[in-house]
C-alpha cells in the first residue's frame, strides 16, 4: 500500500464520527432530491396522458338482435292447439311392424304405429277414466299461413279429435276458437285446419327449404308442455333424414333446436324469418328433448297444403303398383346384371304395373326417357303425376332392354291396406260416415288376395267413430264387412243402401272378416241399433 493510502486510513480512523455524519447527511439529501424529482416526472405524465387506446363497450351483436326480431315477428302467427277426444271401451290394438321394403309410393306399415314411443311419447296427452271411456286431451302447435284463418299443423295433433280449439297469441286468457279440419295427409303427417274470425290474422311467410344448409341457424317456436310462445334456437344438424323405414314422402330436416311434446305442428324458422319446416318429431328415449328433432321441409308442406285446400281436400299421388328394396344393395345389381335403376321385388296384383306386364326381377332404368338412378327418384317422379296419365318406362329384363307404357293409378286406392286403410282427405269429399258410425271403402284386388276373399266381395272399414254403434259392437279399422243382416255388401253403394234402411231398435248382424286382434277369421258382430 502506498504512503497516500496509508495516510488516508489514518486520518479516517482519527475522524470516524465526523465522516460518518457527513456520509449520512449526503445520503439523506440524495433521497430527498430523488423523491422530489420522481414526483415531478409523474405529475408531468398524468397531465400529458398516455398513448393507450381507451376501451369501449360494443353494441349488441347482430345475431342476438336478429333472434329477438324474428321471434317478435313470427310469434303472433304461431298458435296453440287444444284437442279433446273420447275413447269408448278402450282396448289395446295390435301394432304393425314397419317393413323393410319400399314401393313406388312408399308402402309399409302406418308411419306412426310405433311412432310415439320413440318420437314424442304420446304428444303430451292427458286422460282420466270415466264410465267405460277415456277422455283424452292433448296440446300442439300450428302456424297461420292465410289471414282468413287457415292453419298448418301435424295430422297427429288433430287426428280423431272430437273438438279442436285454437288459442291465438294476442287472445286474452281463456279465449279459444273452435277449428275444423280442412284436410289431412297421412303420408307427411300434415293437416290444415281453419278458424273463423272477423278480422285478418297475422301470417307467417314460408321459405324455400332447399336453400338450408347444415350448420345454418334456426328457431323453433311453439307450445312445449303447454308453455305458449316458447322460442328455442339451434342449427340444422342434417337434411334428408328418413326416420320411419319405407316412407319416401317423409324426408326431414334434423335440428338440435329444443323441441318437446307440444311443439309438434309449430314452425322451424330461418334467419330471414321464413318458415322452412314444420316441427314433427323428436328422437328420444325419455319422451323429452334429447337434442335430435325433425321438421318436415317447407317445400313439401307447400305441395301438400295446396292440395288439401283444393276441391277434393286430399293429396293425390301417382303409383304404378310395384315394390322394391328401400335400401340399395350392390349385390342385387350384380345378380340382375344392371348398374343403375330400380329392381322390382313385387308387382301388386291388378295394378298398372301388372297390367303392363312388369315382372319381379325387371329393373326400371328410365321414366319418359329420363334416367332413374334409385328408388327415391322413381317415387318422386311417379308420385308427382296425376292418376290416369301415361308414362313410358325403360327397363332391363334378363339383360335385354325393353320399353312399356303404364297408366298411373291413385296411390291411396292402390295401396289402401298399406296406408292403414285411412282416408287421405278428411274434408267434405270422400267416403261418408253412415248412421252406424262407420266409413267404408271398396276392397282392392291386393287386399282381397291377402285376406283370401273372392274379388269384388265385401267392403273394408275405413274409420270407426268414437262412441258409435259400430264401435260398440266391436268393429275396428281394417275389418272387412261381408254382409249386414244377411245382405251382401260388395261396394260402398251396397253398404250405404243397407245402412239407410236400418231403423232404431232393430237388430243388426255383421258378417266380418277380421284382420287382427283377439279373434281371427270370419265372425259375427251384432247389436241392437239405438
Q: What is the dihedral of CA 426, 429, 431, 434, to 10 degrees?
A: 90
Q: CB-side exposure of 458: number of CA atoms within 13 Å?
A: 25
| DSSP letter for each residue of 311-334 | TT-S---EE--EEEESS--HHHHH
Q: How many CB atoms lie within 10 A of CB 3?
A: 7
Identify whether the C-beta of residue 185 lies closer than 8 Å to the C-beta of residue 430.
no
Q: CB-side exposure of 336: number of CA atoms within 13 Å?
A: 24
Catalytic residue among 77, 103, 138, 156: 156
Distance CA 346, CA 332 (A): 14
* Beta-bridge partner residues of 140: 81
Residue 436 gets the label, from left (phi > 0), alpha (psi -120 to 50) or beta, of alpha
Quick one: which of 195, 83, 86 has its CA closest to 139? 83
Q: How many CB atoms lie within 10 A of CB 374?
A: 13
Taken as a whole, the chain contains a residue count of 530
Which DSSP category does 59 fall into?
P
Residue 128 gets the label, from left (phi > 0), alpha (psi -120 to 50) or beta, of beta
Identify whether the C-beta of residue 354 lies closer than 8 Å to the C-beta of residue 137.
no
- Catalytic residue flag (residue 189): yes
Catalytic residue among 138, 223, 230, 264: 264
Distance CA 481, CA 404 (A): 38
Which DSSP category does 441 fall into?
E
Distances, alpha carbon 253 to alpha carbons 152, 216, 393, 431, in Å: 17, 11, 32, 34
Catalytic residue among 105, 189, 446, 479: 189
Identify whether the C-beta of residue 231 lies closer than 8 Å to the C-beta of residue 71.
yes
Per the structure block, which three cell numbers stand in for 429?
269429399
- Catalytic residue flag (residue 345): no
Distance CA 295, CA 192 (A): 16
- Catalytic residue flag (residue 410): no
Enumerate the active-site residues: 156, 189, 264
Amino acid at each position: 500500500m502506498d504512503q497516500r493510502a496509508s495516510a488516508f486510513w489514518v486520518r479516517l480512523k482519527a475522524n470516524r464520527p465526523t465522516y460518518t455524519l457527513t456520509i449520512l447527511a449526503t445520503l439523506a439529501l440524495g433521497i430527498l432530491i430523488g423523491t422530489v424529482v420522481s414526483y415531478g416526472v409523474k405529475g408531468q405524465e398524468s397531465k400529458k396522458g398516455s398513448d393507450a387506446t381507451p376501451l369501449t363497450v360494443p353494441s349488441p351483436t347482430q345475431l342476438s338482435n336478429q333472434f329477438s326480431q324474428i321471434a317478435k315477428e313470427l310469434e303472433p302467427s304461431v298458435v296453440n292447439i287444444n284437442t279433446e277426444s273420447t275413447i269408448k271401451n278402450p282396448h289395446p290394438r295390435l301394432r304393425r311392424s314397419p317393413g323393410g321394403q319400399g314401393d313406388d309410393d312408399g308402402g309399409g306399415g302406418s308411419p306412426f304405429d310405433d311412432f310415439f314411443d320413440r318420437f314424442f311419447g304420446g304428444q303430451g296427452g292427458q286422460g282420466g277414466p270415466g264410465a267405460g271411456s277415456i277422455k283424452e286431451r292433448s296440446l300442439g302447435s300450428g302456424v297461420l299461413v292465410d289471414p282468413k284463418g287457415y292453419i298448418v299443423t301435424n295430422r297427429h295433433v288433430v287426428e280423431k279429435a272430437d273438438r279442436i280449439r285454437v288459442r291465438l297469441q294476442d287472445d286474452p286468457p281463456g279465449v279459444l276458437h273452435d277449428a275444423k279440419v280442412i284436410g289431412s295427409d297421412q303420408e307427411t303427417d300434415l293437416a290444415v285446419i281453419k278458424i273463423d274470425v272477423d278480422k285478418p290474422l297475422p301470417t307467417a311467410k314460408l321459405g324455400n327449404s332447399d336453400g338450408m344448409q347444415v350448420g345454418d341457424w334456426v328457431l323453433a317456436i311453439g307450445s312445449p308442455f303447454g308453455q305458449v310462445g316458447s322460442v328455442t334456437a339451434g342449427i340444422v344438424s342434417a337434411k334428408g333424414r328418413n326416420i320411419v323405414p319405407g316412407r319416401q314422402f317423409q324426408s326431414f330436416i334434423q335440428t338440435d333446436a329444443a323441441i318437446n311434446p307440444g311443439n309438434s305442428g309449430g314452425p322451424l324458422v330461418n334467419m330471414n324469418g321464413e318458415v322452412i319446416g314444420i316441427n314433427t318429431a323428436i328422437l328420444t328415449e325419455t319422451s323429452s328433448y334429447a337434442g335430435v328433432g325433425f321438421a318436415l321441409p317447407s317445400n313439401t308442406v307447400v305441395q301438400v297444403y295446396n292440395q288439401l285446400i283444393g276441391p277434393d281436400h286430399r293429396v293425390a299421388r301417382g303409383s304404378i303398383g310395384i315394390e322394391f328394396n328401400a335400401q340399395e344393395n350392390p349385390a342385387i345389381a350384380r345378380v340382375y346384371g344392371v348398374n343403375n335403376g330400380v329392381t322390382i321385388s313385387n308387382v301388386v296384383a291388378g295394378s298398372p304395373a301388372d297390367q303392363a306386364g312388369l315382372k319381379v326381377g325387371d329393373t326400371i332404368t328410365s321414366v319418359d326417357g329420363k334416367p332413374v338412378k334409385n328408388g327415391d327418384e322413381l317415387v318422386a317422379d311417379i308420385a308427382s303425376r296425376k292418376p290416369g296419365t301415361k308414362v313410358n318406362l325403360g327397363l332391363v329384363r334378363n339383360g335385354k332392354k325393353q320399353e312399356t307404357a303404364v297408366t298411373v293409378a291413385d296411390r291411396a286406392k292402390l295401396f289402401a291396406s298399406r296406408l292403414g286403410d285411412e282416408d287421405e282427405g278428411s274434408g267434405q269429399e270422400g267416403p261418408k260416415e253412415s248412421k252406424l258410425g262407420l266409413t267404408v271403402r271398396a276392397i282392392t284386388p291386393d287386399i282381397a288376395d291377402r285376406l283370401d276373399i273372392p274379388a269384388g266381395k265385401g267392403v273394408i272399414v275405413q274409420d270407426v267413430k268414437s262412441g258409435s254403434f259400430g264401435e260398440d259392437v266391436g268393429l275396428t279399422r281394417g275389418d272387412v264387412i261381408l254382409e249386414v243382416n244377411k245382405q251382401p255388401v260388395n261396394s260402398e253403394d251396397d253398404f250405404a243402401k243397407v245402412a239407410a234402411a236400418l231403423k232404431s231398435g232393430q237388430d243388426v248382424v255383421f258378417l266380418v272378416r277380421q284382420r287382427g286382434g283377439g279373434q281371427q277369421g270370419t265372425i259375427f258382430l251384432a247389436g241392437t241399433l239405438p
